[in-house]
Amino acid sequence: MKSSKIIRSILLAAGLLMSFQTFAATPEKSFNAPYNLKVTVKQIGPVTQSTDLQIITFLKHSASDKYIEAMDDFNAKQGDFIKNIRSRGEFVGEQGETLLYTPPANSITPTQVLLIGLGDEKELSLDKLQLAGKIALREATRLGAKHVSFAPMLRDQGNSQIDVAEGDAAIVEQLILAYDTEKRLQSQGLAKPFSIDEWVIEAGPKFYDAVNTKVDAAILKAKTAIDARSASKYVNHATH
């Protein structure tokens, strides 16, 4: 009788542990991109994501800037750094504008943060997100970031013009194409060797499944475009 109770207790404890592990696990799904780049869609926010480089896009600053949910938390955890630097006009968020900084001590998990401007909210488009994807990849390569995380966070700025999954897909497609260019430069001795191990797209629970579907399709589209690119070298044979 005593042994049966002990066994039941052990099984119950094991079951509770498994349930806790299942509950505690962060949903994520990984995809294989060219050059062994792992692209992962992860249900997490930029405050708690452990990464070498956290990238966030920003609409152009205005008096009506909104800080909702994840953006509000991101700003608050850093002692209103985002609000302050934007309200002072030192990072406005013009299209293509960037700002790299180290988060305040004991604030958020990322090692470094890169802000990328998208320009005027009224002119927001997939093309601007695609440009942000190119900028993000080239800056990550320049900085030597092996693990990169990207969160457009447009909904958290009060914007719903672009479908979240489509926006993430546009970013992924262009960053892969930019990575292909970087790898070709490296192979031709025009850039130093470097590889990114993982690129994480951060997605909220409401958008997670749709982002996975669109990102998968974006990677395939990028692969097709890479296959269609010219195989010739960038530099013509020099003559003397």
CATH number at residue 201: 3.40.220.10
Lowest-confidence pick of 3-7, 167-171, 194-198, 226-230 = 3-7
Query: How do the residues of the chain divide into helix, strand and coil, expressed in percent and rounded to 5?
Result: 45, 15, 40
Would you place residue 22 in the very low, low, confident or very high pLDDT band (cuts 50, 70, 90)?
A: very low
Q: Residue 18: is its pLDDT beyond 60?
A: no
Angle, alpha carbons 132-228-166 (nearest 5°): 35
Q: For residue 212, is it within any domain? A: yes
Q: For residue 6, is it within any domain? A: no
Q: For residue 127, is it within any domain? A: yes
For 162-201, give one letter per residue: b (16+ CB within 10 A) or e: bebbebbbbbbbbbbbbbbbbbbebeeeeeeeeebebbbb
Tell whether the torsion through CA atoms of 169, 159, 137 and 177 is positive or negative. positive
Q: For residue 11, is it within any domain? A: no
CB 203 within 8 A of CB 70: no
Q: For residue 187, is it within any domain? A: yes
Mean pLDDT in the chain? 92
Separation of alpha carbons 181 and 177, rounded Å:
7
**Domain count for the chain:** 1
Which residues, listed in sequence order, are joined to residue 31 by a DSSP beta bridge? 39
98-101 vs 112-119, strand pairing mode = antiparallel
Which residues, listed in sequence order, are joined to residue 198 by a DSSP beta bridge? 38, 147
CA 180 from chain centre, in angstroms, equals: 18
Q: For residue 176, is it within any domain? A: yes
Check: pTM over 0.85? Answer yes or no: yes
Would you place residue 73 in the very low, low, confident or very high pLDDT band (cuts 50, 70, 90)?
A: very high
Tell me what the mean pLDDT of segment 122-150 comes to. Answer: 98
Question: Domain of 95?
Answer: 25-227
The whole-number pLDDT of residue 135 equals 98
Q: Residue 39: is its pLDDT beyond 50?
A: yes
Tell whether the torsion through CA atoms of 128, 130, 132 and 134 is positive or negative. negative
Q: Which residue has the tokens 């480089």?
A: 53
Q: For residue 233, is it within any domain? A: no
The H or E element containing residue 110 is: none
Longest CA–CA span in the chain (Å) reads 94
Separation of alpha carbons 10 and 45, rounded Å:
36
The whole-number pLDDT of residue 11 equals 47
Q: For residue 236, is it within any domain? A: no
